[in-house]
Structure formats: C-alpha cells, structure tokens
Amino acid sequence: MSVRTYRQIQRRQSRLIHVGAVPVGGDAPISVQTMTNTLTSDVAATVAQIKRAEAAGVDIVRVSCPDEDSTRALKDIVAQVSVPVVADIHFHYRRAIEAAEAGAACLRINPGNIGSSDRVREVVKAAKDHGCSMRIGVNAGSLEKHLLEKYGEPCPEAMVESALEHAKILEDNDFREFKISVKASDVFLAVAAYHGLAEACDYPLHLGITEAGGLIGGTVKSAIGMGNLLWGGIGDTIRVSLSAPPEEEVKVGFEILKSLGLRTRGVNIVSCPSCARQGFNVVDTVALLEKRLAHVTAPVTLSIIGCVVNGPGEARETMIGLTGGGGDNHMVYVAGTPDHKIDGDAMVEHIVQLVEQKAAEIEAAKAKE
C-alpha cells in the first residue's frame, strides 16, 4: 500500500454555505473557530482577545450576546476585527435580529427555542436582509423536554432528531444557509450523534466535543473525538472547547487538522521525547523553537531529533532537520539530505533562520501561482 493510499481521507459531500467571507462545506478547507470569554459589552477586551486568536490563525470567532449591551457592542467589535463574527443567541429572538443588524456574519440559534412561528420568520428575514448564515447547535446537556421524555436520556437518536426538527423550521421558511452541530462532553455520544446526522442530511457540520476540559485533558478528548470524525471524512468546521484562552483552542484545532493532512498552517515540528542518547537538550530546544517560530504561517516541516538512531530517517521526510551528534557537533539536513554541521551555541538561531528562509520561499512561490 502506498503512502498516498493510506493517507487519503474522503470527505463527506455537504452543501456549501458562507460565514461572512469564509466558505464552509463543499470543497472548502475545514475552518477553525473559537469563542471569546470576555464580556461582549467590553469592546476593548473582546477585540483584544479576537486579535490574539487572529494571530493564531482563527477563521471564525463566536461571541455571546445575552443582552442588549452585547448586541449594541457587536457593531464596534465587528468593525475592528478581520474575521467573521458569530453571535451566540439563546432564546431571545430580539437579540438575534439586533445581532444581524449589527453586522454578525452568522447567528448561533436554535429556531425551535425562540417562540412563535412569527418570531422565527422575523429572525429569518433579518438573516436574509443582512447576509447572515446560521448554526443550529444541539447540545446533549440541553435537549428538549419532549425528546428526553421520548428517549429517556440524551442519546444519539435524540440529538439527531432535535437537529432535524430545528432544520425543518428553517427549511419551512425557505432558509438553508446553515450548518449544524450535535455536541456532547461524552466522546462516544458526540461521535455517534455526528455519524447519525451525517447520514441524515447534507448540511455542513460544525464539530466539537463540548466542555472538553482544561488544556491537556480537553485537547486529548477533542483530538480523539474530532480526529475520529475528521478521519472518517465528517466535519466542515471545528471548535476545540477548552478551559483555556481562545488562542489555545485555535492552536490545538490547527494541530488536529495538520496531523490528518487537512490543513497545513505553520511549522510542523517532529521531535523525539529525548533520552540518554541525546546530543543536546531536545525538550528545551523544541520549546524554544515553538516560541521563536510561532509567527511563521507557511507550511514548513521540521524534525528535531536528539541522536542518530531515528534522526536521519525523520530528516529525510522533512524540509529541515537537526540530529544530535557526538560532542557539540550536530548535523543539519536540508531537503532530506545531510547539508552541514552546527555547534550547540548557534543551533537554535541557525534553525530559526533556515525555517524563516524556507517559509519565505514557500510564500513567494505561492504568490506566483
């Protein structure tokens, strides 16, 4: 079996929608989202947080709009950021209308929870008038009472049925510019629900393991759950839900996509865990390189291996490689072949320069396409 064969992921075919200028679904790249945790009414703090997420590469940002102060602030927030903003709305239809008027690119709202059919029509009209898409967001922790009575507990079937009920309300109002999520904190429940929904409709799916936890635990749960779905071709946009700064969610999201070959943003470092054979301190070197290379957005592959056991082999597969040698004399690989040696004192600065140079070459070639 060739490498190309076993790395192929056949994505589920979904319809294409737009969140502002960002395409979601169809053949569009899988987008990475996050959500602010500031008071939305605090414009300066919210904008600063979104800017940090933008620097990490975020495609879409969601902000909560629970009250009029929040929707009033939304207009100023949207004007100061570069990425499309999703307004998170729960229950109150007026907030949805205000958010659409304030420039939200998307409304996260469940139409079945905002009251009468007249209210739904008003929200749909506002979305159409202002070019908003929507996200139907089903959560295992807040399923409708009639579904809990029918199924007895949150289960994949109940979550899918909830999503399709909300979708039908929008379809009945001739609105189809929406994506759907069926999130749960239980990995098995979330994955099963997404599989059921993927079979039941062709709308783009927003993936997430909700309330996943802190940076380490939440990263693991999200990687297992979303990685499972993405590997199976399911998912058009993702959000890693962490009890951590939003930019950390973005970084983890890109790492998940990069590991599956679905996005190629930034430096992908292949490094060993280190052992007594290491010719230099691998752990400290990698930590320093991650900080020094955080600004690079071009898809550069870099291997940092402490000794010659696996170093040459890993270096053959990366654009730039570093392998620990005897004493203070380490081998630098370029394009998979041994190129020159470098001593430990100059090592980090030299690798940074090589990566930045390679990134510039990639960007220049891309500009000519």
DSSP string, 76-135: HHHHH-SS-EEEE--S-HHHHHHHHHHT-SEEE--GGGS-SHHHHHHHHHHHHHTT-EEE
Tokens of 111: 């139409």
Instruction: Note whether residue 67 is domain-resident.
Output: yes
Closest to 164 (Cα-Cα) out of 116, 199, 122: 199
Residues 220-236: what's their mean pLDDT? 97
| Beta strands at 31-35 and 60-64: parallel, antiparallel or unpaired | parallel
| Whether residue 201 is found in the same domain as residue 275 | no
Tokens of 44: 């300066």
| Whether residue 118 is found in the same domain as residue 173 | yes
| Whether residue 161 is found in the same domain as residue 103 | yes
Last residue of some domain: 259, 283, 316?
A: 259
352 band by pLDDT with thresholds 50, 70 and 90? very high
Instruction: Note whether residue 246 is domain-resident.
Output: yes
Instruction: Note whether residue 5 is domain-resident.
Output: no
Q: What is the pLDDT of residue 72?
A: 97
pLDDT in tens, 180-217: 999 999 999 999 999 999 999 999 999 999 999 999 99
Q: What is the pLDDT of residue 344?
A: 86
Query: Over the chain, what is the mean pLDDT?
Result: 94
Checking if the pLDDT of 1 tops 50, the result is no
Q: Phi, psi (5° rounding) for residue 181?
A: -130, 150
Which CATH number does the domain housing residue 331 bear?
A: 3.30.413.10
CA atoms 106, 90, 129, 69: torsion sign: negative
Residues 215-238: what's their mean pLDDT? 97
Count of domains for the chain: 2
| Whether residue 164 is found in the same domain as residue 193 | yes
User: How far, in Å, CA of 325 to CA of 307, rounded?
Assistant: 6
| Whether residue 197 is found in the same domain as residue 338 | no
Q: What is the pLDDT of residue 113?
A: 83
Tokens of 325: 């040698």
pLDDT in tens, 61-86: 999 999 999 999 999 999 999 999 99
Q: What is the pLDDT of residue 368?
A: 87
Last residue of some domain: 259, 293, 314?
A: 259
| Whether residue 99 is found in the same domain as residue 182 | yes
| Whether residue 279 is found in the same domain as residue 248 | no
Q: Structural domain of residue 314, as residue ranges?
A: 268-368
CA 31 to chain centre: 6
Provide the annotated binding site: 272, 275, 307, 314
Instruction: Note whether residue 1 is domain-resident.
Output: no
Provide the annotated binding site for [4Fe-4S] cluster: 272, 275, 307, 314
Last residue of some domain: 233, 259, 285?
A: 259
Distances, alpha carbon 288 to alpha carbons 269, 302, 304, in Å: 12, 14, 12
Q: What is the pLDDT of residue 327?
A: 67
Instruction: Note whether residue 6 is domain-resident.
Output: no
pLDDT in tens, 119-170: 999 999 999 999 999 999 999 998 999 999 999 999 999 999 999 999 999 9
| Whether residue 112 is found in the same domain as residue 55 | yes
Tokens of 207: 């993936």
DSSP 284-334: HHHHHHHHHTTT--S--EEEEESSTTTHHHHHHTSSEEEE--STT-EEEEE
| Whether residue 81 is found in the same domain as residue 167 | yes
